């Protein structure tokens, strides 16, 4: 369990969020992790990994929302041309497709957040945020990871619903890079397909799926516009994960 916490905070450490200087944030984190790390007698009972994954997701949301950069709910990988971002809501298959892309050669940035460093002139850079990836057993099998998670494997009980995989399972983590392609996932339709769409639709998706636009809406809008101006925007009809990843990499990689 401590392995999961350590791996999670290692990923969060890539975001310059100051826990020490923010008592409210610290309090939130303690509350979220408490059921999993308080173990005064040293006898950790088995914890359903789904609960752990949920706590990890809540910690993630708490921290990303406080990152000092615009952040959007998205999976992100990197190819030679730059980052490929997949903005989508929870449950849309971001983690599955991000995993499939990485296992076919893309480099991992995040399965959860497109964090945009807009501190310099030029296009905003997608920062690495390589948190552990939570996949259902079906998703893990579909992308070829099998059912042996690299984290929390001993915490699984009663056929739990999610498996946690550390970022090392997806190869090299990419450095910060500008977004080259924005993919707007559509519903699963069987045969994967990519169609170019107007950039303004990409801007709409980034705004709709932002974690923290309310902090500085003007800054967020300018950063989002910087992303879509420098990127190609596509509608992705999602099919079987590995087939979809092949299409994306053959077309954009």
In the complex, minimum distance from the CB of residue 120 to other proteins, in angstroms, rounded to a whole number: 18
CB 165 within 8 A of CB 47: no
> Can you tell me which of 228, 247, 248, 252 binds other proteins, judged by CB under 8 A?
228
Q: State CA 87 to chain mean position distance.
A: 9
CB 145 within 8 A of CB 118: no
> Can you tell me which of 150, 221, 239, 253 binds other proteins, judged by CB under 8 A?
221
Helices (H) and strands (E) in the chain, counts: 8, 10
Q: Name the phi and psi angles at 197, rounded to 5.
A: -130, 170
Distance CA 1, CA 149 (A): 13
> Can you tell me which of 81, 142, 207, 215 binds other proteins, judged by CB under 8 A?
207
Nearer to other proteins, 49 or 233 (CB): 233
Size of the site for other proteins (CB under 8 A): 16
CB-count burial class (<10 Å; 0-12, 13-18, 19+) for 3: middle
> Can you tell me which of 171, 229, 250, 251 binds other proteins, judged by CB under 8 A?
229
In the complex, minimum distance from the CB of residue 93 to other proteins, in angstroms, rounded to a whole number: 25
Per-residue DSSP letter, 169: G
**Which one of 56-64, 139-147, 201-209, 238-246 is the stretch in contact with other proteins (CB under 8 A)?**
201-209
> Can you tell me which of 225, 235, 239, 243 binds other proteins, judged by CB under 8 A?
225
Residue 183: how many other CB atoms lie within 10 Å: 28
| Both tokens assigned to 216 | 């500085």
**203 interacts with other proteins by CB under 8 A:** yes
> Can you tell me which of 26, 27, 189, 198 binds other proteins, judged by CB under 8 A?
198
Q: Which residues bind other proteins (CB under 8 A)?
A: 198-200, 203-204, 207, 213-214, 217-218, 221-222, 224-225, 228-229
């Amino acid at each position: 369990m401590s392995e999961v916490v350590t791996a999670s905070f290692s990923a969060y450490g890539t975001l310059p969020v100051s826990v020490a200087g923010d008592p409210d944030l610290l309090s939130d984190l303690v509350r979220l992790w408490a059921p999993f790390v308080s173990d005064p007698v040293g006898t950790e009972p088995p914890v359903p990994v789904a609960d752990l994954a949920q706590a990890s997701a809540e910690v993630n949301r708490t921290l990303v929302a406080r990152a000092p950069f615009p952040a959007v709910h998205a999976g992100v990988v990197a190819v030679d041309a730059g980052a490929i971002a997949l903005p989508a809501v929870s449950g849309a298959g971001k983690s599955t497709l991000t995993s499939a892309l990485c296992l076919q050669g893309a480099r991992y940035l995040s399965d959860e957040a497109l964090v945009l460093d807009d501190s310099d002139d030029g296009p905003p850079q997608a920062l690495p945020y390589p948190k552990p990836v939570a996949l259902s057993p079906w998703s893990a099998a579909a992308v070829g990871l099998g059912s042996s998670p690299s984290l929390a494997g001993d915490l699984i009980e009663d056929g739990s619903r999610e498996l946690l995989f550390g970022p090392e399972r997806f190869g090299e983590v990419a450095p910060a890079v500008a977004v080259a392609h924005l993919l707007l996932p559509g519903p699963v339709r069987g045969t994967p397909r990519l169609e170019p769409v107007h950039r303004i639709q990409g801007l709409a998706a980034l705004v709709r799926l932002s974690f923290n636009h309310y902090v500085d809406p003007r800054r967020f809008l300018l950063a989002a516009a910087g992303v879509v101006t420098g990127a190609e925007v596509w509608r992705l009809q999602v099919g079987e994960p590995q087939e979809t990843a092949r299409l994306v990499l053959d077309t954009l990689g």
